[in-house]
Amino acid sequence: MNARTTESSKATLRSLFSIIPPHFLMTLGRARFNGHDAPVGPGVAYDVESQGDMIRKLLVFGLLILVGGLGFQDSLAQPKKISGTRQYLYLSDQRILTLEIVNSEKVILNYINLGQAYDLIEATAVVLVDELERGYRGHVIAVEPVTDPAERYRASELLPAKKFQGFTILGDFVMEGPAKLAYFKTGGRVMELEGLTAEDFEKVAQMVAAVDLTTDDPKFALQRAGFRRGYGKMYFAGAPEASEVEKWFTQAEVFAPIPVSRPAPKLPPKFSSLPDPVVVQLKLHVSKAGGLYQIEAASSPDPALGELAIETVRNSWRFLPAISKGQVADASLTLRVTFKR
């Protein structure tokens, strides 16, 4: 127990005894003589049994306050599990990535492409590493527009919405402290991203505001604004550094193709006899490049509606390819297309 805790405990006891009436304290000083009470104070008749009960209750109450206070102070010193909105910002050269742990099931990743960087949409696997070198894994399950101010960083708000994109990530992110590092894995690359201090964050926000993307040379615009390499690293497959990072990823992981754009189709009037909504189930193959082929209706209440579902998916839906052992792969997929009036 440190000095600060000791002083707090003394203050608690002083407060406790200040609320005990003086005659209660005098009763504590009664002596036993031939089986009878010998009052120490003025000759006032007291009910010894009731006074003793009350004193014991007060002392127990005081101890509960003291123990509760110490327990509260100890709880403040314990690491708190992340819950609710917690935001961390990472930077890697031409890419600014803002990582927000919403809860143990959802992470929002905002991606800002300031130059001619590769598309992070390929980064299907992600690992967060905390201060104790514990890894938490997940993968991208959807791409969604980030327009809600609650899901955007100040750095993101300095750019038009078309310059960045939000990714929803599912995974095991029940962390007891902030992420120290973040790793994103594509088919042939691994990105290592470092956390920024609050001071660095302010500099980044200022640099983002100074970027002029109207120039013909985005890299020159970034350099002129102050961006330099050093906040993150990128490793290619086969590099010694990449093999060190690979330990954070389970090579046996297989991720199914992910629909990243799937506009909800309307149910045409000619199908008025069908319920609302109505579901058509399709089977299809997604290529390594995200292309669709061999699409067929597995179940449909109407053959014509099944053909419409195939046409809708082929023309307007977009997919991320499957990932098998860290590499993009062809894969089959069964999905549901829901029509609403």
As given in the structure block, the two tokens for residue 68 are 């509760």
- The predicted pLDDT at position 333 comes to 83
Contact at 8 Å (CB) between 286 and 331?
Answer: yes
Strand partners for 276: none
Residue type, 118: Y
Q: Say yes or no: 244 and 259 in one domain.
A: no
Say if pTM beats, i.e. exceeds, 0.85. no
Q: Say yes or no: 239 and 259 in one domain.
A: no
Q: Say yes or no: 272 and 233 in one domain.
A: no
pLDDT tens, N- to C-terminus, the chain (341 residues): 444 444 444 444 344 344 444 443 333 333 333 333 333 333 333 333 445 555 555 554 554 444 444 343 433 333 334 444 445 556 555 566 666 666 666 666 666 665 544 455 455 677 888 778 887 777 666 555 544 444 444 444 555 555 555 666 666 666 666 677 788 776 667 777 776 666 766 676 676 666 665 665 656 666 676 665 545 677 777 788 777 777 777 654 666 777 767 788 899 989 988 988 899 999 999 888 788 889 999 989 999 999 999 999 998 888 877 777 666 788 888 888 989 88
- The predicted pLDDT at position 230 comes to 47
Strand partners for 292: 286
Q: Say yes or no: 35 and 183 in one domain.
A: no
Q: Say yes or no: 180 and 104 in one domain.
A: yes
Q: Which 8-state DSSP code applies to residue 198? A: H
As given in the structure block, the two tokens for residue 264 are 């909800």
Give the end of a domain, one of 199, 222, 250. Answer: 250
Q: Say yes or no: 192 and 134 in one domain.
A: yes
Q: How far apart are CA 336 and CA 341, in angstroms?
A: 17
Domain count for the chain: 3
- The predicted pLDDT at position 250 comes to 62
Q: How many C-beta atoms surround the C-beta of residue 28 within 10 A? A: 12
Q: Say yes or no: 62 and 179 in one domain.
A: no
Q: Say yes or no: 187 and 116 in one domain.
A: yes
Give the end of a domain, one of 250, 271, 293. Answer: 250
Q: Say yes or no: 68 and 95 in one domain.
A: no
Structural domain containing residue 116: 86-250
Residues 6+ apart with CB under 8 A from 283: 294, 295, 296, 298, 332, 333, 334
Q: Say yes or no: 304 and 181 in one domain.
A: no
- The predicted pLDDT at position 31 comes to 33
Q: How far is CA 329 from CA 92, 254, 288, in A?
A: 27, 10, 5
Q: How many C-beta atoms surround the C-beta of residue 152 within 10 A? A: 19
Q: Say yes or no: 272 and 238 in one domain.
A: no
- The predicted pLDDT at position 111 comes to 63
Give the end of a domain, one of 77, 103, 133. Answer: 77
Residues 6+ apart with CB under 8 A from 246: 190, 326
Q: Say yes or no: 142 and 234 in one domain.
A: yes
- The predicted pLDDT at position 309 comes to 93
- The predicted pLDDT at position 319 comes to 80
